[in-house]
Amino acid sequence: MKKKNLINFLMTAALFASFALWTFAVAVFDVKPIGPCGSPIGFAALNGFSHALTGVNMTLYTFTDWLGLFSVGIMFAFAVTGLVQLIKRRSLFKVDLSLIVLGETYLLVFLAYLLFEVFVVNRRPVLIEGFLEASYPSSTTLLVMTVIPTAMIELRPRIKSKTARGIAYVSLAVFALFTVIGRTVSGVHWLTDIIGGLLLAAAIDMLYFSVRQAVTDRAG
């Protein structure tokens, strides 16, 4: 394995370890029943303070929910690209390796979502349609911050014009930033949920980049 690939995987491991440590801290540190229906919440002082600052904005919550569908649309577009290649080339082994790695990355995001729906760390600071849902990590933050950075990497060789690529990058970055900030200030997540979503997204992004780089080097 090349030295740069080894460094990439070590960074990936460090990010996953950081997320694991943060999750453990959220589960055990300063846990108090400050949530709806007396639900226990970690980092109670920090979360209670930040939630009091933002309040709850259900309009912004709904809007950022809809924005999340844009990320799903990007996932669908890359899935269709891979499917078209599969049909034209008549072999899975002839599909771009980067698209296969990207598909595996999307699957990992979905599995992470399912995992934290089953093993609940924190529940929301508000009831959603009368139900108290799991909120850690923020699934919208996780989705946006994995789909957008990986899309930027995939678009680089596919958009030849530097101007068009620059416009696409800026648009995607603004979209991601607005969504995460909007999700934070909407008050439907604890601050620790957002941080957890960012940490897990960073770990998955780095895993995608590491595997993509490794398979590309091997293929080359």
Residue 107 is predicted with a pLDDT of 95
Residue 79: predicted pLDDT: 92
The domain of 9 spans 3-219
How much is the pLDDT for 130? Answer: 81
The predicted structure's pLDDT at residue 94: 83
Residues of the chain with pLDDT under 50: none
Number of domains in the chain: 1
- pTM value is 0.93
What is the structure's pLDDT at 91? Answer: 83
- Give the separation between CA 194 and CA 63, rounded to whole angstroms: 17
